[in-house]
């Protein structure tokens, strides 16, 4: 990609953008509407993976409970955009709470960010395995709380989850019903796709800017050697908290989008397996590299669906019955893929910038760094 000139790069950018804008229509035409929904979920996973990439890829803090922030964001949206709170507070909220999307989304992101600091503060001295275990515990605590906070006051409605969540409405346009714009029909899943596309682009932008900044460098210094980083004057406590908060903010925002899209949240969407899934997207794609993380997100979000739609018909055709169910095959393939990856491409499918730079030699890299400074 880097052998292209600047104008070529611009062309590729526009081509990619056009492709992305047409993606829901193409998917709809080629694979059916169900797949557009799957693509929407893939976008949510990409946002999550990019958020986790800040914590794990940049700052080097292994977080196994990341899905908790997604849960916090989703429940924030669910509570402030559904009739649910009527049950607990009939007097205060006779009709539930129905805040608009533009208030709920920042609120969810902010609260999730707060939870990020809450998790970060007690774990500042921990690294590696120990941090992983504490964050894993944190993720489970959040899930168990959500599961049990239906008594004494019914806050989360327990394992049944919260339903009848308001769909996302932007400027009085509800994204849950088909809209006609200039005579073109935009079904709900298409509308959500564009919403998610905008937010994913925003997350990519923020990640990219942070990566090449004073803050990003400080995070990487902490990742490489915390003691040396502090000896260089980096306030490791604040920067680690910032990494946790930033990552959690992204997680919370995507959680809110998820709740609005799905219309229903329940604790079982936020299991440990989901945390591991998101972490695998980051690791598989290429820790610390935005393009790699996106690739990892796309692959791992689509893989189970591809299997679901191919394994059963294939077995039916071959054996006349289903021998291996797609869910267990998914885990088998998944584990196998991870082992192969760690053996042959330990840095991920698309390794981060620095490792690539090494392979390309110094001159091209020097040019790139000049480019970075002037742009």
Partner 1 sequence: MKQPPKKAYTMSHTEDVLLQASRISKKFGGLSALNDVSLHIRRGEIYGLIGPNGAGKTTLFNVITGLYQPSAGGFRFNGAHYQSGKPHLLAQAGIARTFQNIRLFSNLTALENVMIGRHVRTRAGVFGALLRDSSTRDEERAITARAHELLQYVGIEKSVQILAKHLSYGEQRRLEIARALATDPLLLALDEPAAGMNAIETESLKMLLQTIRGNGTTVLLIEHDVKLIMGLCDRVAVLDYGKKIAEGLPEHVRNDPTVIAAYLGGGDD
Q: Are strands 169-170 and 97-98 parallel, antiparallel or unpaired?
A: unpaired
Q: Which of 152, 233, 320, 346 binds partner 1 (CB under 8 A)?
A: 233
Q: How far is residue 301's CA from residue 272's CA, in Å, rounded to a whole number?
A: 16
- Interatomic CA distance for residues 222 and 240, integer angstroms: 8
Min dist CB 353 to partner 1, Å, is: 10
Of 180 and 375, the one with the shorter C-beta distance to partner 1 is 375
Whole-angstrom distance, CA of residue 237 vs CA of residue 247: 16
- Only segment of 72-80, 176-184, 221-229, 253-261 that touches partner 1 (CB under 8 A): 221-229
Please identify which residue in 147, 230, 271, 315 interacts with partner 1, judged by CB under 8 A: 230
Among residues 103, 314, 369, 371, the one that binds partner 1 under rule CB under 8 A: 369
311 is an interface residue for partner 1 by CB under 8 A: no
DSSP H or E run through 273: helix 272-285
Query: In the set 16, 177, 228, 323, which binds partner 1 (CB under 8 A)?
Result: 228
DSSP state for residue 57 in the 8-state scheme:
I
| 38-46, 155-163, 331-339, 351-359 -> range binding partner 1 (CB under 8 A) | 351-359
Our finding on whether 354 is near partner 1 (CB under 8 A) is yes
Could you give the CA distance from residue 249 to residue 258 in angstroms, rounded to a whole number? Answer: 14
Binding track, positions 246-285, relative to partner 1; x by CB under 8 A: x---------------------------------------
Q: Say whether residue 62 binds partner 1 (CB under 8 A).
A: no
Nearest residue (CB) to partner 1, 19 versus 232: 232
Choose between 228 and 338: whose C-beta lies nearer to partner 1: 228
Q: Which of 216, 255, 267, 285 binds partner 1 (CB under 8 A)?
A: 216
Give the tokens for residue 131. 């941090």
**Residue from 64, 79, 105, 242 that binds partner 1 (CB under 8 A)?**
242
Please tell me the distance from the alpha carbon of residue 265 to that of residue 75, in angstroms, as a whole number: 7
- In our burial notation (b when 16+ CB lie closer than 10 A, e otherwise), range 262-282 reads bbbbbbebbeeebbbbbbbbb
According to the binding rule CB under 8 A, does residue 218 interact with partner 1?
yes
- Is 18 near partner 1 (CB under 8 A)? no
Q: Does 224 bind partner 1 (CB under 8 A)?
A: yes
Within 108-127, the residues that bind partner 1 by CB under 8 A are none
Q: Which is nearer to partner 1, 310 or 369 (CB)?
A: 369
Candidates 328, 324, 321, 282; CA nearest to 301 is: 282
User: Among 48, 85, 86, which Cα is nearest to 67's?
Assistant: 48
Nearest approach, Cβ of residue 351 and partner 1 (Å): 11
Q: Of residues 86, 154, 163, 236, which one binds partner 1 by CB under 8 A?
A: 236
Binder among 107, 133, 134, 206 for partner 1 (CB under 8 A):
206
Distance (Å) of CA 34 to CA 25, 37, 132, 189, 231? 12, 5, 36, 9, 54
According to DSSP, the residues that pair with 186 across neighbouring strands are 179
The three-state secondary structure class of 265 is strand
Query: Two tokens at 207?
Result: 């990640």
CB closer to partner 1 out of 18 and 370: 370
**Positions of E strands within the chain:** 81-82, 97-98, 169-170, 173-174, 179-181, 184-186
Residue with token string 């797609």: 326
**Which helix (H) or strand (E) segment is 333 a member of?**
helix 326-344
The minimum distance between CB 337 and partner 1, in angstroms, equals 24
Q: Is 220 in the site for partner 1 (CB under 8 A)?
A: yes
Is there binding between residue 345 and partner 1 (CB under 8 A)?
no
Query: Is residue 54 near partner 1 by the rule CB under 8 A?
Result: no
179 forms beta bridges with 186
Q: What are the Cα distances from residue 154, in Å, to 36, 84, 108, 265? A: 35, 9, 20, 15
**Which residues of this protein are in contact with partner 1, per CB under 8 A?**
206, 209-210, 213-218, 220-221, 224-225, 227-236, 242, 246, 354-355, 357-358, 362, 365-366, 369, 373
């Amino acid at each position: 990609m880097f052998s292209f000139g600047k104008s070529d790069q611009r062309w590729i950018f526009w081509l990619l953008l056009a492709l992305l804008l047409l993606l829901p229509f193409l998917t709809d035409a080629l694979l059916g509407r169900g797949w557009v929904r799957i693509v929407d979920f893939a976008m949510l996973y990409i946002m999550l993976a990019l958020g986790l990439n800040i914590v794990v890829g940049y700052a080097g803090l292994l977080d196994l409970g990341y899905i908790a922030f997604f849960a916090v964001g989703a429940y924030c949206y669910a509570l402030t955009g559904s009739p649910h709170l009527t049950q607990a507070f009939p007097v205060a909220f006779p009709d539930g709470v129905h805040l608009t999307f533009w208030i709920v989304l920042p609120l969810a992101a902010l609260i999730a960010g707060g939870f990020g600091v809450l998790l970060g503060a007690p774990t500042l001295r921990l690294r590696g395995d120990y941090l992983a275990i504490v964050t894993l515990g944190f993720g489970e605590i959040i899930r168990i709380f959500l599961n049990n906070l239906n008594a004494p006051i019914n806050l989360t409605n327990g394992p049944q989850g919260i339903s009848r969540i308001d769909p996302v409405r932007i400027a009085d346009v509800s994204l849950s019903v088909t809209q006609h714009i200039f005579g073109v029909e935009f079904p709900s899943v298409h509308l959500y796709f564009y919403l998610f596309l905008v937010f994913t682009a925003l997350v990519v932008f923020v990640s990219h800017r942070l990566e090449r900044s004073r803050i990003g460098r400080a995070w990487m210094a902490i990742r490489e050697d915390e003691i040396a980083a502090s000896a260089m004057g980096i306030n490791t406590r604040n920067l680690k908290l910032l990494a946790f908060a930033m990552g959690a903010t992204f997680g919370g925002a995507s959680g809110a989008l998820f709740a609005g899209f799905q219309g229903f949240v329940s604790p079982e969407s936020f299991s440990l397996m989901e945390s591991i899934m998101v972490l695998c997207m980051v690791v598989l794609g290429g820790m610390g590299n935005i393009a790699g993380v996106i690739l990892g997100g796309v692959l791992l979000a689509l893989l189970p669906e591809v299997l679901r739609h191919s394994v059963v018909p294939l077995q039916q055709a071959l054996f006349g019955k289903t021998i291996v169910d797609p869910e267990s095959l998914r885990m088998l393939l998944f584990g196998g893929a991870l082992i192969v990856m760690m053996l042959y491409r330990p840095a991920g499918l698309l390794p981060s910038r620095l490792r690539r730079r090494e392979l390309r030699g110094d001159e091209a890299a020097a040019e790139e760094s000049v480019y970075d400074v002037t742009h």
